[in-house]
Amino acid sequence: YFDNKFDSTKVPDNDIPKNKTPKLSIRERVRNKYAHLIKDPLDEEILIRYESKPSQSLTIDDVVSKAVEDTTSKRKNFKNYELPGNYDTAISNFKGLIEEDTLRVINATNGRGLMGYSKDGIKIIVRPWSSSTEGPTIEYGKIMKVRYK
């Protein structure tokens, strides 16, 4: 004889589905986390690049420790360095240098960039261009530029 009544007390715990939060795509995470910064589709794209980079705390000394100082620059008020890499490398280093709650998207004639402040209050900008090398650049206050080639 077979009883058709379901007895929930006999179902093992691991067979009961748990309420899981669905995993969000990076685009959805960016829209949720940075909604206050997104004013344009280009803002969203640069923030997706930023958010996709791993977080690791860096100092400017960490960043320039492997760089070559450029002594040919005409602007002597800046220390200029060159590092191998691209815009993604620059964004990754930028992310390690700033306090995340200071992050802003900036607009300039040559494209979008990001701005933030270090723990000690120094303004840091990353942008996809450099007026002298056409490569991405990190500006560290008014004292240093790191260009990626």
What pLDDT, on a 0 to 100 scale, did the predictor assign at position 1?
46
Query: Which H or E element spans position 94?
Result: helix 87-97
* pLDDT in the model for residue 62: 96
Pairing of strands 68-69, 104-108: unpaired
**What average pLDDT does range 90-94 have in this prediction?**
96
Name every residue whose Cβ is closer than 8 Å to that of residue 97 and which is 6 or more positions away in sequence. Answer: 58, 59, 60, 63, 116, 118, 124, 138, 140
Mean pLDDT throughout 101-128? 91
Tens of pLDDT, residues 20-61: 667 899 999 999 999 999 999 999 999 999 999 998 999 999
Q: Pairing relation of β-strands 68-69 and 137-140? A: unpaired
User: pLDDT tens-digit profile of 56-80?
Assistant: 999 999 999 999 998 877 767 889 9
The mean pLDDT of the chain is 86
The pLDDT of residue 72: 77
Instruction: Give kind and range of the element (H or E) at residue 139.
Output: strand 137-140
pLDDT at 107 over 90: no
Q: Is the pLDDT of residue 10 over 90?
A: no
Q: Is the pLDDT of residue 14 over 90?
A: no
2-6, 30-34, 105-109, 130-134: range with lowest mean pLDDT: 2-6
Q: What is the DSSP string of 21-39?
A: PPPPPHHHHHHHHSGGG-S
